[in-house]
Chain A
């Protein structure tokens, strides 16, 4: 894990998650993908710190998220790394840090909007979530409803706000 700029240091955490190497200015989207607002609401002990646009040897500039007292689930970690391939996820347990090795998930539900505006998953008021299967070899998502394909690289443009 790279240390962020000294004047922006956030204290080390005993238990939790550090999401590092996010592209600069992407942490707000990453918080949405991880649904951290809902986590923090249901677990008062959870606190979240984000650092934006800090220096990074690998990326030039990067964002970073530290979550105290909550470890991200594997599925959420896999989806986050699919959306932001440069991201690294470190799980902290009693000060001990272990790096999570993400896998490409078979499907994604809810977090990404179908690029096809006339897809039923974009219909107002219909109680359904978007669903995509991943075509791993081609690095594509394919909408389960309308078949529209979306390159992995373009997923951040379609993350639900």
Chain B
């Protein structure tokens, strides 16, 4: 049986590193934080929040979570504010914060696998806030917690993931996390932005029921949740590839009316033009609820990792 102490000192790098039981424990802890606030104070703990890539929600929610746990924080919110701008390697930056005896490193980086590498260098646990186009595990936890809160369960749901499945790290991590549950996942993407091979391989190994489509209209009627992602312009290496795919899909109220009753729309944000603002004031909209869950989830998670 999973215990809180199982998470103490643990890295949070990939959703594949967490079992269903462990995820449920994190979600239960998040619900406790939401209902009663943090159950413990980690007074005196020091967290380095190192963001080598810009962020709004993830950075802010980790700061708020640290503050709720009475932790001190240090670090930077963009590479221009660090010695990375002078050419310092990631190795040296991590080794330096390790030498400062921080209790935990929360980091985001543009290169894939950076968090795994940092965890090899750091003696204290590393919590990834996203690495390149590969993974964003705490966002996936936020997403799954929100789904569980909305439906009271995750099992039995039909979840559509729409958009940039090739470069979008939230879609990758969510797919890995959902593989622990009895769900049907429908991936909807233009061919050029299709799911990466290693994710398909993982889902196949876990016997997840997977459907694929290039047109959201063909599948919208079957879904309980539609998870929309933006095209990751900054990660597409070839600008002409971006020009080919931009604007290929948009979720608006007219489309959602083709969906079944109770359909919920989620989005990790920020959005560009793939999700119309006409959805905002409707019962479909859950993306701001989802964003708000970032605070209790990251509070619970940091509490477990530092506990």
Contacts and interface: CB of A to CB of B under 8 A. Distances in A.
B198 A126 contact: no
Chain A binding surface, main DSSP class: loop
Which 7 residue pairs of A and B lie closest in terms of their CB atoms, listed nearest first? Answer: A145-B113, A146-B112, A146-B113, A120-B113, A120-B111, A147-B198, A120-B114
A149 interface: yes
A8 interface: no
B107 to A, nearest CB: 12
B201 A149 contact: yes
Interface in B114-132: 114, 116-117, 120, 131-132
B89 interface: yes
Contacts of B111: 118-120, 123
Contacts, number: 59
A106 interface: no
29 contacts: A118-B111, A118-B132, A120-B90, A120-B109, A120-B111, A120-B112, A120-B116, A120-B117, A120-B131, A123-B89, A123-B90, A123-B111, A128-B91, A128-B117, A142-B198, A143-B113, A144-B113, A144-B116, A145-B113, A145-B114, A145-B117, A146-B112, A146-B134, A147-B112, A147-B113, A147-B134, A149-B197, A149-B198, A149-B201
A46 B3 CA distance: 58
B110 interface: yes
Contacts of A5: none
Size category, B interface: 20 to 34
A2 interface: no
Contacts of B132: 118, 146
B91 A127 contact: yes
A126 B91 contact: yes
B197 A118 contact: no
Contacts of B201: 135, 138, 149
Interface in A109-161: 116-121, 123, 125-128, 135, 138, 142-149
Nearest to A148: B198
Contact of B89 (A116, A127, A144, A146): A127
A116 B112 contact: yes
Nearest to B14: A147
Interface of A: 116-121, 123, 125-128, 135, 138, 142-149
Contacts of A117: 237
A117 B116 CA distance: 17
A127 B111 CA distance: 15
B113 A119 contact: yes
Interface string B277-298: 0000000000000000000000
Given A116-B112, A120-B113, A125 B89 contact: yes
Interface in B78-117: 87, 89-91, 109-114, 116-117
Contacts of B120: 128
Contacts of A126: 89-91, 117
Contacts of A142: 198
B6 to A, nearest CB: 23
B112 A118 contact: yes
Interface string B53-78: 00000000000000000000000000
Contacts of A119: 111-113
B205 to A, nearest CB: 10
Contacts of B114: 120, 145
A128 to B, nearest CB: 6
